[in-house]
Amino acid sequence: MASTPWSPAATSRLRSMLALLLGAVAMAPPSSVKEAAVPAGTARDVSRVNRQGPFVGVVVPNGFEMEPLLRSPEFSPAKKLPYLDVAGRRFRFGTIANRKVIIVMTSLGMLNSGVTTQFLLTLFDVEGIVHFGIAGNADPNLRIGDVTVPRYWMHTGLWYWQRYGDGREKELALESNGDSTRKYGALNFSDHTAGARKPAAGNLLNSVWYQPEEVFPADGTPESRRHVLWVPVDERYYGLSEKLEAMTTLERCVNNGTSGTGLPRRPAVARVERGCGASVFVDNAAYRQFLRSRFGVTAIDMETAAVALVALSSPYGRSRTSPAVAPQGRTRPACTPRWRRRTQSLSPFALYRC
């Protein structure tokens, strides 16, 4: 955020608070400070691992999505040091299709995925990142089990929430110095009132304006920000993913059709233009349709935008399965598709084999 004028009194209070805080840190026991660093033994193991690099990082949201990959015959764990635990995260080493990989689970949400990705890039010699998992689908032409590979990702959770009574023509606070914008549109809550069309009284929640992220490029001037709304995947990885669209081996049903039920058609792989994400589980048809109409997105998830932003200066690839269109009513497939038990997108494998 750009600098904001401070009154002399506020500046004095800030200086006093900083002095008090720094004094408290200085008086902290040495052991508590030492524990914040990577232990010496772990640092030696990291150096030993990096001598075997570079690696491709495989970032997975949760164990439900990671376990099928670990059980896959395509993955061969390293024999001498199969994993390394750092800061509550387990980094697993091995190969997939003869490519050296590091697999790590992020847990759900933007913060977890961003922090884990930063750990991965800071500690290890990583040449690229592949992120895969299950996502929501905003494209009515796609079906359960289809695999999407978006070219651009947007974080839809950075909002300017406008006060009640202000309209679209009202300039946002700090808009004049570039800290907020109306360029990318807003979600107006009164437009989505059930049983009424734009009620005269409006809605106390008013509108939220979507904001771009502030980023500090690794190859730029320190503390020199720029704004980014759509983060592109690496062009080389995206080009390789074109060959995935010809895949015809994705299975329709976990029971191989023995029960006579399954998906209505064989799942397909599709490269699409846009995906989006925020720390919000979208199970709402109206919001899904809004994101589709306003931003033209296909995949909706909770982690990828953070991974993309952290890896902005590094090549990375990304693919998600599309488990379902966010329904207005409860729906279930006739059988449990195999991707619920075994990784269906195959993206970590095929991206490297192509």
Indicate whether 173 and 250 sit together in one domain.
Answer: no
CATH number reported for the structural domain that contains residue 287 in this entry:
3.40.50.1580
Question: What pLDDT was estimated at residue 221?
Answer: 82
Residue 242 DSSP label: G
pLDDT digits (tens, 9 = 90+) for 151-210: 999 999 999 999 999 999 999 999 998 899 999 999 999 998 887 666 666 899 999 999
Question: What pTM, to 2 d.p., does this model score?
Answer: 0.80
**What does the pLDDT average to over 236-248?**
84
Angle at the Cα of 233 from the Cα atoms of 250 and 230, rounded to 5 degrees: 120
pLDDT digits (tens, 9 = 90+) for 48-83: 999 999 999 999 999 989 999 999 999 999 999 999
Indicate whether 302 and 336 sit together in one domain.
Answer: yes
Element (H, E) at 122: helix 110-123
267 touches 143 (CB < 8 A) = yes
Q: Mind giving me the DSSP string for 62-101?
A: SHHHHHHHHHSTTEEE-SS--EEEETTEEEEEEEETTEEE
Q: 145: phi > 0 → left, psi -120 to 50 → alpha, else beta; which?
A: left
Q: 152 vs 109, 181, 339, CA distance in Å?
A: 19, 21, 24
Indicate whether 167 and 145 sit together in one domain.
Answer: no
Question: What pLDDT was estimated at residue 219?
Answer: 74
Indicate whether 301 and 260 sit together in one domain.
Answer: yes
Indicate whether 191 and 164 sit together in one domain.
Answer: yes
Question: What pLDDT was estimated at residue 339?
Answer: 30
> Average model confidence (pLDDT) for the chain?
81
Long-range contacts formed by 20-26: CB under 8 A, 24+ apart: none
Question: What pLDDT was estimated at residue 274?
Answer: 95
Q: Flag whether pLDDT at 327 surpasses 70.
A: no
Indicate whether 251 and 182 sit together in one domain.
Answer: no
Percent with pLDDT over 70 in the chain: 77
Indicate whether 180 and 308 sit together in one domain.
Answer: no
The total of structural domains in the chain comes to 2
Question: What pLDDT was estimated at residue 3?
Answer: 52
pLDDT digits (tens, 9 = 90+) for 79-128: 999 999 999 999 999 999 899 999 999 999 999 999 999 999 999 999 98
Q: For the chain, how are helix, strand and coil distributed in percent, rounded to 5?
A: 30, 25, 45
Range of the domain at 258: 45-155+229-353
Indicate whether 269 and 319 sit together in one domain.
Answer: yes
Name the maximum alpha-carbon separation found in the chain.
77
pLDDT digits (tens, 9 = 90+) for 284-324: 999 999 999 999 999 999 999 999 999 886 656 666 666 65
Indicate whether 190 and 325 sit together in one domain.
Answer: no
User: Within a domain: residue 50?
Assistant: yes
Indicate whether 148 and 169 sit together in one domain.
Answer: no
Q: Flag whether pLDDT at 349 surpasses 80.
A: no
Indicate whether 181 and 241 sit together in one domain.
Answer: no
pLDDT digits (tens, 9 = 90+) for 257-272: 555 567 778 888 899 9
User: Within a domain: residue 25?
Assistant: no
Question: What pLDDT was estimated at residue 197?
Answer: 64
Indicate whether 112 and 56 sit together in one domain.
Answer: yes
